[in-house]
């Protein structure tokens, strides 16, 4: 009777997506479909309510971003997450957005997560294995790596889409370099006061930066600083 259930995680995830649509945060069918397909409940550690629109602690002084921030970033990046494209998720944490990116770029594309806490990389891979994109992990179009995301992931550059899930004091130059002409990066920038910046690299290689909204993310920093609570 699983498919008739009214209180299952799939239904709750769908209700979360509908709430984000009602409030105009999810505006496209594409983003609604991917957030419906990737059950957020698989990525939030036990004990935290996964479908509440709030960030949640994931250990190691890190958080999974709130659903409305994930939706906002997916809306901003959706044209750069088409089948066959390359996407980089810096500070991939739980792996939730990396999984969404993988679903959007599909088996012909590449979705890469980079996270500097090895335990989070291990648990994110476990989360992804339970999700709708498990097969992409096996096929190799989705991967997650332990590395300092401030250096990007040169092996699969250039990227059509780069998402940074932690706030940088300034935009790391390697990330700008690894953005494809025509590509877009979404990155929170600042320390106490932060702005979500949208960085568009034009076809001539010039870069245009605008601020989308004020945000509050954990810092993009060294592993030592993060583990010592900054």
Cβ contacts of 200-206, under 8 Å, gap ≥ 24: 201/176, 205/181
CB of 44 to ligand SAH, least distance (A): 9
Backbone region of residue 227 per phi and psi (left: phi > 0; alpha: psi in -120 to 50; beta: other values): alpha
Q: By CB under 6 A, name the binding residues for ligand SAH.
A: 60, 62-65, 91-94, 96-97, 114-117, 120, 148-150, 165-166, 218, 220-221, 226
Q: Check if the beta carbon of residue 182 is closer than 8 Å to that of residue 189.
A: no
Q: Which is nearer to ligand SAH, 38 or 117 (CB)?
A: 117
Q: Which is nearer to ligand SAH, 169 or 181 (CB)?
A: 169
| 65 catalytic residue (yes or no) | yes
Nearest to 60 by CA among 229, 212, 173: 229
Q: Which is nearer to ligand SAH, 7 or 70 (CB)?
A: 70
Catalytic residue, chosen from 65, 123, 141, 143, is 65
CB of 175 to ligand SAH, least distance (A): 11
Q: Which residues contact 206 (CB under 8 A, 6 or more apart)?
A: none
CB of 197 to ligand SAH, least distance (A): 16
Output the six-digit token pair for 87: 């996407």
Tell me the CA distances in angstroms from 127 to 62, 203, 220, one per residue in order: 16, 36, 23
Nearest to 160 by CA among 79, 225, 219, 63: 79
In whole angstroms, give the CA distance from residue 217 to residue 132: 27
Q: Which is nearer to ligand SAH, 141 or 226 (CB)?
A: 226
CB of 150 to ligand SAH, least distance (A): 5
Known catalytic residues?
Answer: 65
């Amino acid at each position: 009777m699983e498919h008739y259930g009214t209180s299952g995680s799939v239904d709750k995830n769908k209700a979360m997506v509908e709430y984000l649509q009602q409030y105009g945060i999810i505006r496209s069918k594409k983003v609604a479909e991917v957030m419906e397909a990737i059950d957020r409940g698989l990525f939030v550690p036990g004990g935290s309510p996964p479908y509440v629109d709030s960030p949640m602690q994931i250990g190691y002084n890190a958080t999974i971003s709130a659903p409305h921030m994930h939706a906002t970033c997916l809306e901003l990046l959706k044209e750069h997450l088409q089948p066959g494209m390359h996407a980089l998720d810096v500070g991939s944490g739980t792996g939730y957005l990396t999984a969404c990116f993988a679903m959007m770029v599909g088996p012909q594309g590449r979705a890469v997560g980079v996270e500097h806490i090895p335990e989070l990389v291990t648990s994110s891979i476990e989360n992804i294995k339970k999700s709708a994109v498990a097969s992409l992990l096996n096929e190799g179009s989705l991967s997650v790596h332990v590395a300092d995301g401030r250096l990007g992931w040169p092996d699969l550059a250039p990227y059509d889409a780069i998402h940074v899930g932690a706030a940088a004091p300034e935009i790391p130059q390697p990330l700008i370099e690894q953005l494809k002409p025509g590509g877009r990066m979404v990155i929170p920038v600042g320390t106490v006061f932060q702005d979500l910046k949208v960085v568009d690299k034009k076809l001539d290689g010039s870069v245009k930066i605008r601020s989308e909204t004020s945000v509050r993310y954990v810092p993009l920093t060294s592993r030592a600083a993060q583990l010592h609570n900054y």
